[in-house]
Structure 1
């Protein structure tokens, strides 16, 4: 990837577009793409559109587009959508329909303007055979075409029956319970447990034969069957990706294979935090557990380049009520940016830890739909911020969804850079300028190394599944991660998301944070013990490892881990606040006490040997935070509290913890209004540095920024503006317009 990849999705057929485009329209579109700095187009081939009969593929339009693209100097990524089943395949393989937990078969619809939606179950051998013929024929036809750039076997991975469908009951939205998937699940269980007696021991069941085993269909107090069922579905989804990727790779080993997901498995798509009388909950839609069913750390290494989509349904549709009040417009915008940041960092880490690159694979050209399409400068600023947030996190490209407006389904009329007739708009012009800016900055960044993170937040898919199965949503697990991430993001501490499976494989962090650490296997506890034994510092929250891998109460920790920790979590209390002595964490922290609000759970902690009590519960005086052997134990869920309650004290506490671990910020920002977020990400090459500075607020600000790099005089080039500054003692005064980006390149003077 010599240049920053910049492309667009191109719809040319009946789905979304409503008709086939003519030769003249296609030629004009592709000519305009080149004019407006598009370097690559994604040509998505839907099974129902292309496989018009069992032995006939209709590719005349695709042929023409490939030829014109080559003539105009464009490259083409060919993507596949198998979730649009041809009517002949539906008739031929009627037993391949998805089946809900209620036992009802899914019938077909235009869905998201996709005929044959949501496709047929990939566990059906006949369906697999038909798709192998479809994919294989397309790859063999185009693998030597001079316009081909890459392939995408699955345009946006998710478990399609759960998508965009209204169900009358929750059980109608659980899939797939067809005989092929259930049989595959039984074989998976037999491989995992080796005998029916071992399954009975784990599940607390009394089966006599594998044929008696059924996947769970109701959520309740028992979660062990859900832990296995959802883990199987995720692994099954991964196996489908491997199979589809292999169809392409064996026929064309020369061109790279891309794939992308709606958002990272750490994030949750289009979610709202809503208030209740006590606590809060998450309306869980398109999460790793519900419908996406993917683990990025397992999916990324299958392909050559990974990616994600960035699509809130509305820029202001995040966390509508968190603190018992309606959020301001600016708070909603910043929270949307926060969610994007978390998902970008999670995808970055999944790719770094598996040695892959990633791109922003779908970014809307416009928001809206039938009743409220909109585009204005605020949207463009957000679009620009998100792409630079990606570049600041080592993304290698962006693809805009889409070139023309959709004219069918709920997407219409929106998302296009052009209007529904293919005429360029203001959107086309501003995105062309954005492409120039990104490529200009990437020419510096591509030879530099991103300033690395010394803090890792540990992510466990099992915790998410347990949370969803036990409570019905991800309102504790995900928001515990988000709370710590939010505080560190606001303070400009670089942070990584560390998958629990990769804990022993990644670098030595100065600090690991274990949010909502309820459920761990014995092998995972062994990895935690090894990290602590090496001298790493950690934050461990309440209810630590209280459940084993099956979700059953763990009576006691492994002896060697318990001895190393030097404390035990004890009685559950009814408390509202913790009073902390920050100077217990180091001389730089103040001696004045700090009061931390509690959102959920108060658990006392007992020191088993020499350690220090850092904080106590305000009402009872029982130990709430203790420091023992490089582990800071917190008797509540502090990340969750920061999302639910907010407040300066929690932000300060996270800052003190980072300093206790010896971690430095990328930069320190002074002279801005309260709650203004100025994000700074950095790169380095020998004695040169580059910083991407983003003003997430809607105000014009002039912050004084101290960059934490070796002290000396630097000449600073503002790359986008073309101006030059001098940095004295690493300080720069910088004017930033609302929702603005600045890129500063530091060279020693």
Structure 2
């Protein structure tokens, strides 16, 4: 079964008296097969040892009758008030050492948010009791499909805790229990206080001395602090999974994220999605494109990242925006149109999803999300977008066998290391240089009509011959094993594209003597002293806003050197053109086997090195960020390299085609991310001999294996292809 449905219940919505009719609408006119419900800890556990699952029973009994399947989303992030009264020391504490009382917020109007710190033993025991009681209560229900054990895993209060948060109010958790566990983690890592002192440059006397950092300026302590928090989040995932598995070993357990590094930042959230997904049966993502103003390329990047993080397990689009998003109680996103529903569904499908669930069935009822996100309105009337979702549901069931057999085959790799993003946060208080570079490089893959695989350093040696191009966005962490694996990848025939400052710092944030670290001799490339590049006159940090001491407070002065004020790189290979550098311009010393392929102010700043059977392209700037900021020459350069070394099944000019292929049939999915109608002729693989539009069910002509495709602005067109000249085999309603 291809799972297709919607989030249904989060107290108090939908109203209790309307739920049976609502479920009948979901199973009937909409034709969905699955719903998801939030079981919120504080709502279902109002007193010690008292569990109230009456509302869940009513919903599941109706689903039993209607044949709907139910995903139960367990929400520990709304803790019972009685538990907070018993253990006030278990409240989350921010970097200003302020404990957070339980409260309501936009996504948790019934209170109990942000929950209590699960590092506290009594809180974890109470959470385990709740999960166990829930699983024991529902595990025999025919409608139960599985559990979503953690909604968008992250350090919960780090997101949306105020309309006016200071940076320190987004950093957690500094409670006594978490601080003690951090010290224990440090003790296990370093063994002796002397070893910690050497790494952190301290004079601690005992393990009682180290504290989590609260202000920026140092690197080693921040790296360890957020590594620990990431490990803690991964441990919490394992705890949730194990607890549910013991109580109910017969149903799957999943989770879904909302941030997907390196496309998204990770440090405040404290997430490593690969580690979070490891104990799960399946993984998933939450995407709100109109709310968060996502381009199709950015959505595709997140889907590819989600699939990559799952490492071979099934993944779902577990939350897809159903109606307009709400930023505050008044501000809202653009409306969701039927064409959006089509576009978003097919973007997920070409990336390989095996389930799609909307957020949410009915427009939210109260709080700052009220009026938003619903497929249907508050009166439960079907909207045009809901009718389109129903139509697509039927279409996907028709092509279910093909979609289930489909296996995406990425041809481009994008490397990232969570430590690299933590270092960026320690350096800048943000991760923009990394995330911008990753988004830019992915855009080049998107325009090259190939899928991408996001990978961490431990996966480099596992890359097969399909990944011919490996992109390394803004990677300042230099680990010897990563450098060795990258070099071996190139020697074996791979093409490697790198930004400047590769391996500038070691694992403790110490500057290395040569960059690219551990690779400069082999590649014949050595970085010289870099120039900082002003970001189009936009001050980014307090120091930039202050300006030099000779300027009035708040003034901003552009650095006086020509490189910083005119950071243009003239490139000659693989294209001729000029690129506007970003973040740094780094002169290079180039020797054999490297050759200069780009200059700035007469200085070498880009090089190509033939190493073994492969090639390294090294750029003395943040090339990915240049693409992200709209530099067309940078996009063309990386796209040309990708095109020279990959073999996309279908290629477009302004349209972006993808193939969902089976044994003797395929779906040609063509996206238009332009603001105007685009019509193109595309060359298909010669094996396909028949074509039919899946929406109109009309035959499409193939002339010498070419097909003409016209797609409306920001829309998608889907063509069913067959390898055999047998029109009777289409299986559609009519000829």
Q: Structure 2-normalised TM-score?
A: 0.88
Alignment counterpart, residue 580 of structure 1, candidates 562, 566, 571: 571
Determine if contact 2:317/2:348 at 8 Å carries over to the other structure.
yes
Structure 1 gaps of 5+ residues are 269-286, 318-334, 671-676
CA distance in 1, matches of 2:517, 2:179: 39
Determine if contact 2:515/2:527 at 8 Å carries over to the other structure.
no
Question: What residue is the counterpart of 2:268 in the other structure?
Answer: 290
State the Cα distance separating 1:690 from its structure 2 match.
3.1
Determine if contact 1:570/1:603 at 8 Å carries over to the other structure.
yes
Written as runs of structure 1 = structure 2, the 5 A alignment for 1:379-458 is 379-450=337-408, 452-458=409-415
Alignment counterpart, residue 199 of structure 1, candidates 196, 201, 204: 196
Residue 223 in structure 1 maps to residue 219 in structure 2: yes
Question: What residue is the counterpart of 2:125 in the other structure?
Answer: 129
RMSD of equivalent CA atoms: 2.2
State the Cα distance separating 1:313 from its structure 2 match.
6.2
Distance of aligned partners of 1:262 and 1:114 in 2 relative to their CA distance in 1, 3 Å threshold: farther
Determine if contact 1:712/1:728 at 8 Å carries over to the other structure.
no
State the Cα distance separating 1:712 from its structure 2 match.
5.8
Written as runs of structure 1 = structure 2, the 5 A alignment for 1:221-620 is 222-268=218-264, 287-291=265-269, 293-312=270-289, 314=291, 317=293, 336-351=295-310, 354-369=311-326, 370-371=329-330, 376=335, 379-450=337-408, 452-508=409-465, 509-556=467-514, 561-573=519-531, 574=563, 576-582=567-573, 585=574, 593-617=576-600, 619-620=601-602
Alignment counterpart, residue 626 of structure 1, candidates 608, 612, 629: 608
State the Cα distance separating 1:727 from its structure 2 match.
2.9
Determine if contact 2:303/2:348 at 8 Å carries over to the other structure.
yes
Question: What residue is the counterpart of 2:79 in the other structure?
Answer: 85
Residue 733 in structure 1 maps to residue 724 in structure 2: no
Q: Find the residue that maps to 2:582 and give its secondary structure.
A: coil
State the Cα distance separating 1:110 from its structure 2 match.
1.0
State the Cα distance separating 1:476 from its structure 2 match.
0.4
CA distance in 2, matches of 1:180, 1:303: 27
CA distance in 2, matches of 1:400, 1:171: 34
Determine if contact 1:714/1:728 at 8 Å carries over to the other structure.
no
Distance of aligned partners of 1:571 and 1:558 in 2 relative to their CA distance in 1, 3 Å threshold: closer
Residue 656 in structure 1 maps to residue 643 in structure 2: no
CA distance in 2, matches of 1:713, 1:417: 37
State the Cα distance separating 1:563 from its structure 2 match.
3.7
Alignment counterpart, residue 75 of structure 1, candidates 69, 73, 79: 69
Determine if contact 1:605/1:626 at 8 Å carries over to the other structure.
no
State the Cα distance separating 1:713 from its structure 2 match.
6.3
State the Cα distance separating 1:312 from its structure 2 match.
4.4
Distance of aligned partners of 1:704 and 1:537 in 2 relative to their CA distance in 1, 3 Å threshold: same
Q: Find the residue that maps to 2:31 and give its secondary structure.
A: coil
Determine if contact 1:668/1:705 at 8 Å carries over to the other structure.
yes
Bigger shift: residues 536-545 or 172-181: 536-545
CA distance in 2, matches of 1:185, 1:621: 46
How many equivalent residue pairs? 681
Alignment counterpart, residue 170 of structure 2, candidates 162, 170, 173: 173
CA distance in 2, matches of 1:31, 1:735: 38
CA distance in 2, matches of 1:666, 1:428: 33
State the Cα distance separating 1:524 from its structure 2 match.
2.0
State the Cα distance separating 1:522 from its structure 2 match.
2.2
Distance of aligned partners of 1:443 and 1:161 in 2 relative to their CA distance in 1, 3 Å threshold: same
State the Cα distance separating 1:338 from its structure 2 match.
2.2
Distance of aligned partners of 1:734 and 1:177 in 2 relative to their CA distance in 1, 3 Å threshold: same
State the Cα distance separating 1:736 from its structure 2 match.
1.5
Alignment counterpart, residue 723 of structure 1, candidates 698, 702, 722: 698
Distance of aligned partners of 1:544 and 1:263 in 2 relative to their CA distance in 1, 3 Å threshold: closer
Distance of aligned partners of 1:357 and 1:713 in 2 relative to their CA distance in 1, 3 Å threshold: closer
Question: What residue is the counterpart of 1:640 in the other structure?
Answer: 625
Determine if contact 1:44/1:155 at 8 Å carries over to the other structure.
no
Q: Find the residue that maps to 2:267 and give its secondary structure.
A: helix
State the Cα distance separating 1:448 from its structure 2 match.
3.2
Q: Find the residue that maps to 2:530 and give its secondary structure.
A: strand
Distance of aligned partners of 1:406 and 1:448 in 2 relative to their CA distance in 1, 3 Å threshold: closer
Bigger shift: residues 526-535 or 113-122: 526-535
Distance of aligned partners of 1:550 and 1:12 in 2 relative to their CA distance in 1, 3 Å threshold: closer
Alignment counterpart, residue 161 of structure 1, candidates 150, 153, 157: 157
Residue 38 in structure 1 maps to residue 38 in structure 2: no
Q: Find the residue that maps to 1:467 and give its secondary structure.
A: helix
Determine if contact 1:366/1:375 at 8 Å carries over to the other structure.
no
Distance of aligned partners of 1:570 and 1:86 in 2 relative to their CA distance in 1, 3 Å threshold: same
CA distance in 1, matches of 2:508, 2:186: 13
Residue 21 in structure 1 maps to residue 29 in structure 2: no
State the Cα distance separating 1:69 from its structure 2 match.
0.8
Distance of aligned partners of 1:493 and 1:61 in 2 relative to their CA distance in 1, 3 Å threshold: closer
Determine if contact 2:483/2:518 at 8 Å carries over to the other structure.
no
Determine if contact 1:80/1:155 at 8 Å carries over to the other structure.
yes
Determine if contact 1:713/1:729 at 8 Å carries over to the other structure.
no
State the Cα distance separating 1:538 from its structure 2 match.
0.9
Determine if contact 1:263/1:310 at 8 Å carries over to the other structure.
no
